[in-house]
Amino acid sequence: MYTKRITKVSRERLKHGVSKDKSRRREMSRITPMAEKEKPVFRDALIMGLIAVAIGVFLILEYSWDMIASATYWILKSTGVDVTYTRPLMLISLSLRDGTLVGFQVLMECSGIVTVGVFAAISTFTVGLLKGSILRKIGWFLLSIGLGLMWNINRVILAIFMAYNFGISAFSLVHYLLAPSIDFIWIVSLWALGMSLIKRRRMETL
């Protein structure tokens, strides 16, 4: 009777030890893939970097400045603002409400290359190095840069529109204070969105 009790206890301990060993193996099998997924993906970062360089090269060309100036001119014209556009100089001219004649030259500083460059650099060395679908990364990257460039055109339009209605001081307020603040907001927001999308997708595949 005493021997049987010892055998029964030893069997229970053995079963308990086996179940513990299995649970440890399961935990290790879960930890190992996560450790592997934390390795930086330099290939994806390189691809995103090349795309960013291509976009940057386009933004330093006069063709892109002309596109931004033309879009600004036509949108202001459609809102009733009396403006003229001199294409070779990328110069948008208009008379303010007080009769002052002013001109706004759209050059590389207005192309959005600075904010796009900052966003591209941060995204390439963070989102680009994460484990995830390269197509998803590129899609998010191009969409984010597209939204950034659209905001850049809106910034130029808003600055000139404020100057037309409220004077040069209002232009300076929008161009040098309000616009950089909104630039910071869209950069951080879209970067955080990209990080969450890639990480969420990665957790779903585990």
Residues 57-97: pLDDT tens digits? 999 999 999 999 999 999 999 999 999 999 889 999 999 98
Residues 126-154: pLDDT tens digits? 999 998 889 999 999 999 999 999 999 99
In whole angstroms, what is the distance from residue 152 CA to residue 115 CA? 9
Q: pTM to 2 decimals? A: 0.76
- 76, 63 in Cβ contact below 8 A? no
The radius of gyration of the chain from alpha carbons, rounded to an integer in Å, stands at 29
Query: What Cα–Cα distance (Å) separates residue 118 from each residue in 75, 106, 187, 192?
Result: 27, 20, 8, 14
Assess whether pLDDT exceeds 90 at residue 99.
no
Torsion of CA 127, 108, 71, 121, to 10 degrees: 0
In whole angstroms, what is the distance from residue 62 CA to residue 68 CA? 10
The pLDDT assigned to 185 comes to 93
Per DSSP, what are the bridge partners of residue 93? 84, 103
The pLDDT assigned to 198 comes to 86
Mean pLDDT of the chain: 84
Ramachandran sector of residue 80 (left: φ over 0; alpha: ψ -120 to 50; beta: rest): left
Residues contacting 56, CB < 8 A, separation 6+: 113, 116, 117, 120
